[in-house]
Structures are given as structure tokens and as C-alpha cells.
Amino acid sequence: MIRIAVISSKYFIDRVTKYNNVIPNIEITPYIYDHPDESAELVERIDNCDVMLFAGPLPYNLAKEKIEEKKLPAVYVPTDEYTLTRTLFHKMLYHSESLGSVSIDFPEISYIQRVSEELGLKTADWFIYTHKIDNISQFPADEIINFHKKNYEKNNCQWALTCVEIVYRQLQKFGIPCSLMIDPEKNIHDTIQKAIMLGQIAIKKKSQITVGLISFNQQVDFAFDSGHLKKDATIVLQQVLLELVKETETSIQQVELDQLILYGTRGSIEQLIDPITLDPFLQKINQFPGLSVSIGFGFGLSAKEAEANAKIALYHAQKNTEVNSVFLVTDEKKVIGPLNANSKILSLKNESKKVLEIADRTGISGVLLTKLQRFLKLRRENTVTVNELAEYLEISRCGAERLLKKLLGQNYAEKVGEEQPYQRGRPRAVYRLSLE
């Protein structure tokens, strides 16, 4: 299942969401804005998706900085020659009046020139406003509206043609004859296909093998048995790490007296190095006087490559002057770190309205619901059994059953089937959770 977040106006959204019922194995979630300037704010709110799809180049460019922070692939429906040709052809086909003089705004003047030449249109009476949207932080909607308004009031044009819905709506209020660019179905379909491809790549990337090397040091007085103290430190560190990796489905082994190794997928490690997970772990380490850790994570297409990159990352972590230092080396040999620099202490407190609503209606704590959300996100599916819940949340089977009963009672869970254990035994009920 490829999860696509669509950032769009209300006018355009139905043309994309209809593909939920056309293309298999995709889940399209709309994020609707009234003004394209709101697209950056919407990107911040996006959760649980593989790729972002924008209704056009304008909202995409306005949110570019937030897109980079989100670290998710993003695409947009292009506004190109095909869009302009489709719109002009529709105008000529369904409106008896000629195109005549027009006031038009469009991202690229070269597109207008090429289309007019191919269609044999004379553009001497066209008034053209080009959008400079490559590096903008705010869209000059009022400026474009005034451009069209003045052209019409001065009788320079018979009608206006715009790419932006908010401009179109305002021109209609002024009673100015106007049309909104019509995105060709091909452009929308091709963009969704591109989003699916990028989503598949992102999922495969998250399945990359990842290795983490954890080296620790405890400053001791040489009059003591340093070996014994190091062994105690190992036990302490292993206990803290076991709590940490339980939430991310990674495995841990001891390779030397003062070194541990983690194995996981890229997706699980990205969750582990998220400040909301990493900071509390480092805070626990700080509680033990004299104990410090250096951690190196490596991504790779093979276990050998991932381990080699982890060694490079560990080298940088040990070289760093931070008391506890975490570095990462990607499969492109890019060194990132220290990951814990200037990090804030974050708790599992979740301010999302959905979590607060579920907590209020079920009586389940927000922390527990957040952990449950993260578990479902990591598994990339929303079905669980009682045993899986009990094991992950470290509660008894009875506790897991009580939790499910509360969710069932408020329709946040439903029984969807049974699974047969690989050993003999009664079939286990499978539940689908709706926590997003």
C-alpha cells in the first residue's frame, strides 16, 4: 500500500482522490487549503504517508523548505503546454465567442509562445503575467488579481485566464469573465504514477539493512577491577538498549566487552534516531556517572556495506567532543551528525487532536496510544492480535484484551478475522485498529 498525501485546493481534490477506487494498493489522503500560502503549514501536519503530491508547482514551491524538512519524496501536477492547450481548446470548442484579447497568468511565457504558434493563435492582444515561483515564500495573489482587474476595466481584454483558483474566485466576485486552467487527466494520472514509483522506492529504501555499532566508555580508578566495572556497565547499557530497540523491532548483540551491535532496517533505525526516541535514551545514559556512549549507524544495500558504513560513523562519533555522540553514514557515504547536537528533551506526549480524542473517549493514556500508533506505522499495517499487543506494549494478555475492549467499544477497533498459529492451538482473533 502506497500512502499518498495530496496538498490541494477544494476545487481540485476530487480529481485526485477518485483514483483511490481506480488504482489498486494506494491510499490517498487529502490536505486541503483555501490559499496556496497554507501549503507549508499543511506539510507540517502530514503524518503516516510515503509520498506527497501537490496540485501544482505553486503550492509545491511555497512549501519547498518544509518538504526538505519532512524528508519525504514529493511530486506536483505540472502546469505546462499540455495544460494550456487543453484549456484553450476547451474554450474554443464550448464557447461561441472567439478567444479575442485575453489577460493571462502562467508560470512560463515560453509555454504560451509555443502553444500559440502550434495552434496558429495571434497573441498581440494578450496581456501576460508570468509567475516567478521557483524561490518564493508568499504568493502575490492580490498583485495578479489587480493585473487582471485593471486590464478588464481598461477594456484591454475581453476575459481573463488564470492558473490559480483563489485568483479565479476573486475575479468571479468582481464579475470579470474568467476561466481557470484545466489540468489534463493525463497530467494527473502520470503524476500519481510517479508518486507511486517514488513511494515504492522509499519503502524499499526503508527496508535497507542497517547496522548500528555502540561503543561505551566508563572512566574508572585503576585501583579497581576495571574489567568487572566494564561488565557492569555492559549490563546497564544492554538493559537500556533493550527497552529502546523493543519499540523499533531491531535486534542487539554484544560483540566485545565494551561494544554492542544493532541490526535492523532503515525504517526501524530512522525511527530509533528520531529525537522523540533518541533523547530519552541518552538522558538515561546520563544518569550513570562516568558512562558515555559513541554510536555509529550505517545504511547499506548489504549487511557488509552497512557494517562498513557503521564503522565510519562510529569513528566520527568517537572523534566528536560531545559526551554522548551519534553519527550516521548513508549508503551514498554521506556522513550525518552529530544527530543529538542541540537536541531538546522530548517526551511521548502527543498533542494530536486524534490521540486526545481517543484518549478522552476510551480512557487509554495518550502515551500508550502514541506507542500503539508508532507500532502500527512501523509494521505498515493496522491489524494486530492480542499477543502482539501484549508483547509490544509489555503488558499482560489480560491487559491487552482490556485495551482492545475499550477500543472496540468506541469503534476504534474491529475484529476482521482469525489467524492459525504455526503450532497447534486455537485460532487467534485479528483486529483492525483505526487510530489515525
Interval 65-111: pLDDT, tens: 899 888 889 999 999 899 999 998 888 887 655 677 899 999 888 88
The last residue of a domain, from among 290, 308, 336: 336
> Which of the 8 DSSP states describes residue 184?
-
Average pLDDT over residues 6-29: 92
What range defines the domain where residue 131 resides? 81-180
At 421 the pLDDT is: 56
348 domain-assigned? no
Distance from C-alpha of 418 to C-alpha of 88, rounded to nearest angstrom: 56
Tell whether 135 and 168 lie within a shared domain: yes
Q: Which residue has the cell 537500556?
A: 240
Tell whether 292 and 233 lie within a shared domain: yes
Question: Residue 160 CA to chain centroid, in angstroms?
Answer: 37
- Number of other residues whose CB lies within 10 A of the CB of residue 425: 8
Output the average pLDDT for the chain: 81
Q: Is the pLDDT of residue 192 over 80?
A: yes
Tell whether 331 and 215 lie within a shared domain: yes
104 domain-assigned? yes
320 domain-assigned? yes
Question: pLDDT tens for residues 337-352?
Answer: 888 654 333 333 444 6
Question: Residue 99 CA to chain centroid, in angstroms?
Answer: 43
With b for 16 or more beta-carbon neighbours within 10 A and e for fewer, the 370-399 pattern comes to bbbbbbbbbeeebbbbbebbbebbeeeeee
At 419 the pLDDT is: 67
Average pLDDT over residues 149-177: 92
Q: What is the CATH number of the domain that holds 293?
A: 3.30.70.1230
Closest to 4 (Cα-Cα) out of 49, 35, 38, 42? 49
At 268 the pLDDT is: 78
Q: Are 38 and 32 in contact (CB under 8 A)?
A: no
Number of domains in the chain: 4
Per-residue pLDDT band for 149 (boundaries 50, 70, 90) equals very high
Tell whether 172 and 248 lie within a shared domain: no
384 domain-assigned? yes
Tell whether 215 and 134 lie within a shared domain: no
Q: Are 199 and 73 in contact (CB under 8 A)?
A: yes
Tell whether 300 and 416 lie within a shared domain: no
- Show the CA angle centred on residue 35, arms to residues 140 and 18, nearest 5°: 130
Tell whether 232 and 332 lie within a shared domain: yes
Tell whether 121 and 43 lie within a shared domain: no
Per-residue pLDDT band for 356 (boundaries 50, 70, 90) equals confident
- Number of other residues whose CB lies within 10 A of the CB of residue 175: 8
User: Full-prediction pTM beyond 0.85?
Assistant: no
122 domain-assigned? yes
Tell whether 267 and 399 lie within a shared domain: no
Per-residue pLDDT band for 221 (boundaries 50, 70, 90) equals very low
Tell whether 64 and 200 lie within a shared domain: yes
The single-letter code of the amino acid at 55 is A
173 domain-assigned? yes
Q: Are 306 and 209 in contact (CB under 8 A)?
A: yes
Distance from C-alpha of 298 to C-alpha of 334, rounded to nearest angstrom: 10
345 domain-assigned? no
| Coil/strand/helix, residue 270 | helix
The last residue of a domain, from among 336, 367, 384: 336
Q: Is the pLDDT of residue 114 over 60?
A: yes
Tell whether 60 and 189 lie within a shared domain: yes
Check residues 75 and 216 and name the one with the higher pLDDT: 75
268 domain-assigned? yes
Q: Which residue has the cell 543529538?
A: 340
Q: Is the pLDDT of residue 52 over 90?
A: yes
- Number of other residues whose CB lies within 10 A of the CB of residue 292: 17
Q: What is the CATH number of the domain that holds 53?
A: 3.40.50.2300
Tell whether 367 and 325 lie within a shared domain: no
